[in-house]
Chain A
Amino acid sequence: MAETPTKPKFKLPSVAELKEGQIWKSIFRHKLDETPRNRSLAVLSNVFLHLHPAKINRDAVRYNYTWGMGGITFYLFLVLTITGVLLMFYYHPSKGQAYRDIMYIMHDVPFGNFTRNMHRWAAHSMIITTWLHMFRVFLTGSYKPPREFNWNIGVLLLLFTMLLSFTGYLLPDDQLGFWAVTVGTNMARATPVLGSEGPFGPQMGITAFNDVRFALLGGSIVDANALLRAYIWHCVAIPIIASVLMIVHFWRIRKDGAISGPAPVMIEQDLSGPVAKKA
């Protein structure tokens, strides 16, 4: 009887062998060795990381220049997106049910209270970091040419960050949110020309049923329609608008010469010398 060839025994591949395999190579296009080429590729060949340039001003990585506030603001936005999506699974934006859903999230949903708390505190933190980011950009004069336009995008992002937080305030449908939004939207009633109680509003035929406040609330009182509108602005519309603005904001950072510094200081002699004439 001839000997039948035995099948080779199956053996788990080692990590080193995996790294040579087709699956690994299809995902990772480069090695992670400490060579300048690989270090650049790590950033450039990654869709998320290529937001960054391959190299950066050596002093810009110091915490004391940027305070890291822009990056932290973006990170908080991501935290808010994740916790917000989790909360959306348990929330109905309808009068009566909304409050019960919050109670349900707080008391019955696994980690529901934790998720809600984190969403709340990350939202407050994001307001603070946005302000600190603006403060830093002002102090370092980073809005100066060529970054004027990006500063404007940043001001809009500041506005939308605060609107995001404000629209979220109503969603628990409790006394706190209800009265905060009542106070807030009552001001819209006083918009000049477009508000029913604003200067020249009544003269233009504006009433409580066709003014700016009516458009914001979907009615003349803070009720079911207002809750639904706040929900859609908070969970869909403003995040989309803010995301578009963020895309522009980050893109312009790169296009305007990456992070602004720390730049070499200018002295008075520069302003009268050849450097000034070039600028």
Chain B
Amino acid sequence: MDWHQLMTITTAPDNVPIVIMLFLMPFYTWYGLKQSFANDRLIEKLEADPELAKTHHRKTQPWVKGWDSTVHVWPYLLKIEFLAAIIVTLILVVWSIFLDAPLEEPANPNLTMNPSKAPWYFLGLQEMLVYFDPWIAGVVLPGIILGGLMAIPYIDVNPRGNGYYTYKQRKFSIWMFFIGFLVLWLVLIVVGTFIRGPGWMWFWPGETWDHHRIVHELNRNLHEFFGIKDSEVMKAAGFGATVIGAYFAVGGFACDRLFRKFAPEMVKKQNVAQYATTIALTVMMFGLPIKMLLRLGFTVKYVMVTPWFNI
């Protein structure tokens, strides 16, 4: 256990935000879910007692009859905003006094940094480069992430949970978001920050970074596992296209079955375009961990190899 190595990584000034996030994210996940469960209990109580639902103010916040439902922005909101501004300023001032922003040697194109890492918030994308070629990891996947985020309001047809925390009424969308954001995006960032060392090799936290480590990794393309040689270009491309096509077909079919079983109301309410988008995004999202598993567990390099691009 190399504590010095671990300390060097966790206390690098630019890594401080990600260390802070390691505490903030679980906290806010708990904080949001706590309120979701409180609302869920209230919903259950009201559903069991429709008479109470007619008169209840339907919030977990305290309520006394006769209270105004609104308050003046000045002073009730503005004083909180000013206070928040002061607290944020105070944190920034203390942070800026005690921790200096990093400055390395002057840029030198002849001296490659090893490891050469992007800013921490892009390390998820950089980590994807291990599993995909740059055109997918750096261009297509970020595009799909942004497009997928923008599609959310148009494919989520569930009318419940509009403006209040709830888990019970939105299980499907909450699980999808947790998998995409908390599991995939944040875990990849943590891997990129704390685990990847020189040569972008895997070093467990506390393992000494060995700059001379050589890994004899034999990553093979998927078709080689099935006896197709790299030289058989068209055969390999055809095989790869079939596998990708089969993944989308089987994945889409599996999603369709699962959605019908676990989110029947969504399936009923969505139109064809909404349903197809939901399935496509789901299948593509799970493509990432599947490719990671193929690469890390079975040394598969590419699933599909063509003269123009590889997947």
- Assuming A39-B74, A136-B32, is B92 touching A121 (CB within 8 A)? yes
- Assuming A263-B162, A265-B166, is B177 touching A138 (CB within 8 A)? yes
The interface residues of chain B, by DSSP majority, are classed as helix
- A152 interface residue, CB < 8 Å from B? yes
A residues 98-113 touching B (CB-CB < 8 Å): 99, 102-103, 106, 113
Contact B53–A267 (Cβ < 8 Å): yes
- Assuming A162-B121, A190-B134, is B146 touching A155 (CB within 8 A)? yes
Q: Mark A40-72, 1 if CB is under 8 A from B, else 0.
A: 101100000100111111111111110110011
Contacts of B42 in A (CB 8 A): 265
The minimal Cβ–Cβ distance linking A41 to chain B, given in whole angstroms, is 9
- List the one stretch of B1-9, B20-28, B214-222 in contact with chain A: B20-28
Contact B108–A178 (Cβ < 8 Å): yes
- Assuming A56-B77, A144-B161, A162-B121, is B17 touching A264 (CB within 8 A)? no
Contact A192–B59 (Cβ < 8 Å): no
Contact A173–B106 (Cβ < 8 Å): yes
Contacts of B165 in A (CB 8 A): 139-140, 262
Chain A: interface residue total (CB-CB under 8 A): 106
Q: Mark A137-156, 1 if CB is under 8 A from B, else 0.
A: 01111111101100110010
| A159→B146 CA distance, assembly (Å) | 8
The minimal Cβ–Cβ distance linking B135 to chain A, given in whole angstroms, is 4
| A188→B134 CA distance, assembly (Å) | 8
Contact with A180, one of B119, B129, B146, B166 (Cβ below 8 angstroms): B119
Contact B161–A141 (Cβ < 8 Å): yes
Of all chain B residues, the one with the shortest Cβ separation from A212 is: B139
- A169 interface residue, CB < 8 Å from B? yes
- A18 interface residue, CB < 8 Å from B? no
Contact A40–B17 (Cβ < 8 Å): no
Contacts of A17 in B (CB 8 A): none
- B164 interface residue, CB < 8 Å from A? yes
Contacts of B153 in A (CB 8 A): 143-145, 147-148, 151-152
Q: Mark B70-94, 1 if CB is under 8 A from A, else 0.
A: 1111111110110011001100110
Contact B163–A261 (Cβ < 8 Å): yes
Contact A140–B163 (Cβ < 8 Å): yes
Contacts of A189 in B (CB 8 A): 134
Contacts of A124 in B (CB 8 A): 14, 16-17
Contact A117–B100 (Cβ < 8 Å): yes
Contact A265–B58 (Cβ < 8 Å): yes
The minimal Cβ–Cβ distance linking A99 to chain B, given in whole angstroms, is 5
| A120→B116 CA distance, assembly (Å) | 20
The interface residues of chain A, by DSSP majority, are classed as helix
| A65→B34 CA distance, assembly (Å) | 11
Contacts of A91 in B (CB 8 A): none
Of all chain A residues, the one with the shortest Cβ separation from B62 is: A59
Contact B17–A187 (Cβ < 8 Å): no
- A186 interface residue, CB < 8 Å from B? yes
Contact A165–B121 (Cβ < 8 Å): yes
Contact with A165, one of B31, B96, B119 (Cβ below 8 angstroms): B119
Contact A140–B164 (Cβ < 8 Å): yes
- B169 interface residue, CB < 8 Å from A? yes
Instruction: List 21 contacting pairs A-B, 8 Å CB cutoff, sorted by A.
Output: A39-B72, A52-B78, A58-B70, A64-B31, A99-B106, A118-B96, A128-B20, A141-B160, A144-B163, A155-B149, A175-B107, A175-B111, A180-B118, A184-B118, A187-B125, A190-B134, A190-B135, A192-B309, A198-B135, A266-B159, A271-B160
Using a CB–CB distance below 8 Å, which chain A residues touch chain B? 36, 39-40, 42-43, 49, 52-65, 67-68, 71-72, 75-76, 79, 99, 102-103, 106, 113-114, 116-122, 124-125, 127-128, 132, 135-136, 138-145, 147-148, 151-152, 155, 158-159, 162, 165-166, 169, 172-180, 182-184, 186-192, 195, 197-200, 203, 221-222, 260-269, 271, 276, 279
